[in-house]
Structure 1
Amino acid sequence: MAYILGAEQVPKLFLKFLVLFVITFCNGAVDPTSPGSAEFALGEFQNVSLKANTSLGAHLPSIPPNISFIIVQMHTHYLNVTVSISELPATNSSKTGDGSGLFYRLGEGQNKLTWYMESLNLKKVSGLAAALPYTENDPVPGGCNLEFSLETDPNIYLKYNIYETVLQFAPANVGYGRGKPEPTCDVSTDEDSRWRLQYDIHQYFIPENDLSENTFLQHLQKMTDVKQIRLNSKKIATLTSRDKTLMLFSTIPGQGVIYNIIVWDPVLNTSTAYIPAHTYACTFDGTVNSCYLLGKISSKIFFTLTALLGLFVCFLGHRFFKVELFFVGFIFVAFLFFILITKTTDMIYDGRLWLSAVAGVVGGGMLVLFWWRFGSVVFCMLFVGLTFGFMLSSIILFTPLGELIFFRDDIGFWVLFSCIMVVVAAVNIIWSKVLSIIACGILGSYAVVIGIYSYMYTSMSYITLNVLKRLLSRNFRKAYTKVPFQDFDYVIIAIWVFLAFSGILLQFHLQKQQPDFPPNPYEVWIQDRQRRSTNILDPSHHVPPLRERIQKKFTQLGNIFQKEQPAGERTPLLM
């Protein structure tokens, strides 16, 4: 009774607050999966953290009346999150992914909106979410979608393989206001329809060798707003409404890339950004194609050994001519053999790599043997020239010259590539010594660059990798092959240039008083053999033939296992 009387003396305002607190606490304890809520501001990104198997309601108050539609979106590093307009996600009103969102058309008089983000992961998910507003004059991204599940789909879709990354999106529609009918998509093709719209494809590279979530979220915000996209990213291409809504890019495993599209209305001079999409061309939560285990052990062993041989060739290749020939023959044959077995078999990568290495050793040995037997400088320099020409062709077409539309056609690309190779090979035959030394410096130092790539990503490796991809994939000719040039790449370029120049200068200095090429090894061997057989004063004249020396070595080896005879009288007995 005393408790009830005491309660009656409590002020009514405090009692109501107490009741509300108890109800809220009990609801949270009984139903832990009920969505929380957060208030968002239009046009601003906010950090969002979702616990395992929970959802969050995002509330947008005070939407201005001049806003016609809103694009809501959430981005995570790699974990999937479902974005939905309703608390219970439906197929036609929700989207799941690590960077996904929805288009929401506002009704007449509507001034607030609630949307939901749900995580079905078994661990905490962090990311960035935003609601970006647009007016009736702005184009509607994905407004003429006929391919994907949403009626209006502003998302960008990425899929990749080891060669290329494919980007797809739904065509946009012209803008329209609240309460007005949606313009038709394909009834007419005049300037009053969506066919006047243009699409700018933008690409942005996240800093190399950085897979952290914080770095990703920091740089993602540079690819969401139209102004920020144009300021920070590289415009790759502009498509018209009559072009296919599909583009190909060169796949760069382990390198974070963010893509976005700006749809522009040239009549009203207004623009809208799609929802950005990103990829690392690898996985963060698996052992297959893991972003943390990209460098295969077999690749590290193969390219490390190649780099050590290349370092020797860079500084002493022409002086030790047989080593140069072995190096060139190894590269030439191993490269061709790898292409052959990749196009004709389904063998795993490790098997292809080691078979190519064996073929390369055989090819290098055969070229050295040919030089030893015939001593043909022209024939050997032809292989050196072709290999050097391949390298120069790859470098030239790695520059912006290779991004010209003309070189997207295989005929134009391979004709120029082959012409450069043939010209370099021909010049190499004429000025054999000079170009042999230059080839040693450039090829040997680039082998060191490839060796570094097996441990740390560098864009310089794609000088030759892009050519290899084009040889192996028919669709790669359509891909844009732009790669990032960041601080580490400039360091690698400096190392490459330093090794090449120092190696070339050293070899020119060492060969200053030397003949252009060593004499024919076979003729030298014949002359030495004749000299040993006729000159009895030559100590080598008394050296037994090779067969007898081998038999003597085996006899000595067998005597090791014979039991030693006991010592005794070794002189004849006196009679």
Structure 2
Amino acid sequence: MVQEKCFLFFVLVLFSAVAVATQNATITIPLNKPITTNNKELYGDFLYVNQSSTLQVNFSAVPKTVSFLIFQVHSHLVNVTLYNNTLTAGSYVVGTNIGLYTSAKKPDTFFIYNQNVDDVQIYVSVHGYKITDPIPGGCNMEFPIPIAPYLRITYNREYFFVDGAAAKDITDVNCNSVKDVEVTFYRVYLKERDFSPESYFAGLKSVMTLDNVLENGEIIPETGVMWSMRRMLSAYAGTGAALVGVARAASGYSLYVPAVTYACRPELGDADCELLDDVLSQMICATLLFVGLFVCYFGHRFFKTEMFLIGMASGALVTYIIIAIIADLERPALVGASLVSGVFFGAIWLVFWWFYGIPVFAVLLSTLNLGFLIAAIVYYRLPDALLTLLWVALAATGFLYQHYRHRGRPPFPPPPRSISPRMPEGPTVYGVWTGYPQRVITVTPQPVNIRIEEPARTTERTPLLA
């Protein structure tokens, strides 16, 4: 009997806890105490939404200078649903970084629905803009929401796209001149393989206001071949990136709802966020370590092997980029196709040296690869710094080592089967420059007077041994 009462009491307590956890809640946010007046952030704070419940959000004390509001909601790793007034088609959006537009004269009532089985911590932010500011996503033709101030991110293992709806100038009622509003995209990288909520929300706050964006963000350039409201970036699985768009018009500015992506799903485990998640890629990277050291320290000694390896690396790199853009392949298939293409290109490069042996072309491909690496380092502002110093050290030591070993030797070995015209032979050796004009010494032969004495006359009385 006592056990039955204890069990009944436990059930009642559990039921009560579930009932409290799933009940809806309502809050009212006053907007007359802005966080940053210059940055137009009227409110920002953390809230909790109970499991399988809805949080209703109302606004009060809206400043008279505000014309419209952008209400944004951010959650970590799990989706939530945001809608206004009624949950109907075209009035809601689902995601981790979402937001909606509302007029400040009669603000909408917003509802945040947590469809998950656990409580969710969210960060809520409200930005108020003047009538002269452009409306982010006001000229939307891509998303189901009439005014879509948020960004949409899609990704695969190689790259990800950031899409936004065009902004609307207050003077352009029918969105006939969307180009008059310039939208600039910015990016901030989060700490590598840090999936904690603290790092996630800190990254969001670093691009939440214009001052923070200009201080922390890097401009994402346009590709020139895509829609002006789309950006394409390399995906580094496990490294988060906070992204935001800034709409600028002649009369003001506004910010899109920032978004964060890891180019993977950390909630599925660390395996989904590995950069090299297949055996083929891991084997190739391990092999490249030893191949790179070989080329760095012994490449010039085995020149034909160096030509093949450099051509193969260049061909594989170019093929990898092109195929990743035009086709959506799995990583093993993409790496395999690039490797086959690299072997073919390396063979062509080796044959070209085999028959022609032009030194300028031999070093051209290596120079282009070096330029590509330097451009990537400059563009990403020395991210990935200890690694850059390691590259510089390897290049310096490799150059000095090979320069020392090849002193006094020809700078380039002769091609095995040259079909090009032979160059004039000279005393050129490795490490010696013969460009100085040589002093020509002309020796003029001088006449030499040689007196030839005639033999003395002999007679019968001259001694034979005289």
Contact 1:140 1:172 in 2 (8 A): yes
Q: Which of the numbers 366, 372, 375 marks the counterpart of 1:394? A: 372
Aligned to 1:150: 145
Q: Which of the numbers 212, 223, 228 marks the counterpart of 2:212? A: 228
Aligned to 1:317: 299
Change (3 A) 1:295 1:349: closer
Contact 1:85 1:114 in 2 (8 A): yes
In structure 2, what is the Cα distance between the partners aligned to 1:117 and 1:96? 10
Q: Which of the numbers 218, 224, 247 marks the counterpart of 1:263? A: 247
Aligned to 2:47: 48
In structure 1, what is the Cα distance between the partners aligned to 2:211 and 2:63? 21
Where 2:46 maps in the other structure, the secondary structure is strand
**Equivalent residues in 2 for 1:507-546, closer than 5 Å:** 507-514=402-409, 516=411
Change (3 A) 1:121 1:377: same
Matched, 1:201 2:201: no
Aligned to 2:196: 212
Q: Which of the numbers 276, 293, 299 marks the counterpart of 2:258? A: 276
Q: Which of the numbers 224, 227, 236 marks the counterpart of 1:253? A: 236
User: Which amino acid in structure 1 is aligned with residue 262 of structure 2?
Assistant: Y
Matched, 1:494 2:389: yes
User: Which amino acid in structure 2 is aligned with residue 310 of structure 1?
Assistant: G
Where 1:201 maps in the other structure, the secondary structure is strand
Where 2:65 maps in the other structure, the secondary structure is coil
Q: As a proportion of its length, which structure holds more helix?
A: 1
Contact 2:168 2:175 in 1 (8 A): no
Change (3 A) 1:148 1:306: closer
Shift of 1:172: 3.1
Give the TM-score normalised by structure 1.
0.57
Give the gaps of 5 or more residues in structure 2: 1-14, 32-41, 418-466
**Equivalent residues in 2 for 1:164-203, closer than 5 Å:** 164-175=159-170, 185-186=173-174, 196-203=180-187
Aligned to 2:8: none
Aligned to 1:407: none
Change (3 A) 1:324 1:50: same
Matched, 1:291 2:291: no
Contact 1:174 1:265 in 2 (8 A): yes
In structure 1, what is the Cα distance between the partners aligned to 2:67 and 2:328? 53
In structure 1, what is the Cα distance between the partners aligned to 2:324 and 2:18? 59
In structure 2, what is the Cα distance between the partners aligned to 1:343 and 1:144? 28
**Cα deviation code 1:182-206 (max 9, x no counterpart):** x7722876xxxx7753333333332
Change (3 A) 1:355 1:514: same
Q: Sequence identity, in percent? A: 24
**Cα deviation code 1:133-163 (max 9, x no counterpart):** 2233333222333442222221222333456
Shift of 1:347: 7.2
Change (3 A) 1:105 1:496: same
Contact 2:158 2:324 in 1 (8 A): no
In structure 1, what is the Cα distance between the partners aligned to 2:321 and 2:172? 50
In structure 1, what is the Cα distance between the partners aligned to 2:322 and 2:63? 63
Give the gaps of 5 or more residues in structure 1: 1-25, 176-182, 400-459, 464-481, 523-575
Change (3 A) 1:282 1:483: farther
**Cα deviation code 1:270-313 (max 9, x no counterpart):** 22212112323223344799224644332121121122121122
Q: Which of the numbers 97, 113, 126 marks the counterpart of 1:131? A: 126
Matched, 1:35 2:24: yes
Contact 1:34 1:54 in 2 (8 A): yes
User: Which amino acid in structure 2 is aligned with residue 104 of structure 1?
Assistant: T
Aligned to 1:385: 363
User: Which amino acid in structure 2 is aligned with residue 116 of structure 1?
Assistant: F
Change (3 A) 1:354 1:85: closer
Aligned to 1:327: 309
Change (3 A) 1:28 1:187: same
Contact 1:367 1:380 in 2 (8 A): no
Larger Rg: 2
Q: Which of the numbers 94, 99, 103 marks the counterpart of 1:101? A: 99
Contact 1:168 1:245 in 2 (8 A): no
In structure 1, what is the Cα distance between the partners aligned to 2:163 and 2:261? 14
Change (3 A) 1:202 1:344: closer
In structure 2, what is the Cα distance between the partners aligned to 1:32 and 1:509? 74
In structure 2, what is the Cα distance between the partners aligned to 1:513 and 1:188? 71
Aligned to 2:10: none
**Equivalent residues in 2 for 1:445-456, closer than 5 Å:** none
The count of corresponding residues between Structure 1 and Structure 2 is: 390
Change (3 A) 1:364 1:132: closer
In structure 1, what is the Cα distance between the partners aligned to 2:333 and 2:412? 38
Aligned to 1:81: 80
Aligned to 2:283: 301
In structure 2, what is the Cα distance between the partners aligned to 1:71 and 1:205? 24
Q: CA RMSD in A?
A: 4.2
